[in-house]
Amino acid sequence: MSDALAGPDGALRCPWALSTEDYVSYHDEEWGRPVHGDDALYERLCLEAFQSGLSWITILRRRPGFRAAFAGFEIASVAAFTDADKERLLGDPGIIRNRAKIEATVANARVLADWAPGELDELIWSFAPDPDTRPAPAKLSDVPAVTDESTALSKTLKKRGIRFVGPTTAYALMQACGLVDDHLVDCVARKDTP
């Protein structure tokens, strides 16, 4: 028996996706879909870090503000942010005004600006587990918060100078960017739905 629930259109979805219309769209169109490109992955890494300790809906609803505040999450642009930019961000009501997370976002861009093009994409995707070794979850309790792969990804990113990326944040990144498919077995958004 699956935990999937019928949405307003009658389609079965992961239960968390049905609490708001914003979640339905995010669940159906983005979560678990492959994300590639250094800037796109940097954005997701930053948003997952900002989400730490908060609900994802808070971040999702402020994503346009985050994109505006952080130059569309273009790594080279954020890497050039000054102390004045950081102070500006601390006063921006369109984002989460957490000094440590803002500092980490800028510091991470500076680290990544020195990487070769495609290096972040290659590194993150190198931790994608073999999908054949991961049975489709039937219940929310079947979905882990941390895995061996997310722990290894976290350690590798930290060793390379990336901040605010613990194993739980790394796993949320893996879910959001499609490295793993944690849509429930009979969810309409599951890639391999029979």
Condensed to tens digits (0 to 9), the pLDDT of residues 112-133 reads 999 999 999 999 999 999 998 9
Condensed to tens digits (0 to 9), the pLDDT of residues 45-82 reads 999 999 999 999 999 999 999 999 999 999 999 999 99
Query: Is the per-residue pLDDT at 110 higher than 60?
Result: yes
Question: What's 38-177's CATH class?
Answer: mainly alpha
- The catalytic position among 26, 74, 103, 125 is 26
Statement: the pTM of the whole predicted model exceeds 0.85? yes
pLDDT of residue 194: 39
- 31 labelled catalytic: no
Query: Is the per-residue pLDDT at 193 higher than 60?
Result: no
- 103 labelled catalytic: no
Condensed to tens digits (0 to 9), the pLDDT of residues 130-174 reads 998 999 999 999 999 999 999 999 999 999 999 999 999 999 999
Binding-site residue ranges: 14, 27, 183, 187
d(CA 111, CA 115): 7
- Contact by Cβ (8 Å): 12, 4: yes
- The catalytic position among 23, 31, 43, 48 is 48
In sequence order, which residues have a C-beta less than 8 Å from that of residue 186 and are 6 or more positions away? 2, 4, 12, 138, 193
∠ CA(70), CA(99), CA(121), 5° rounding?
45
- 171 labelled catalytic: no
- The catalytic position among 16, 56, 115, 125 is 56
Query: Is the per-residue pLDDT at 187 higher than 60?
Result: yes
Binding-site residue ranges for Zn(2+): 14, 27, 183, 187
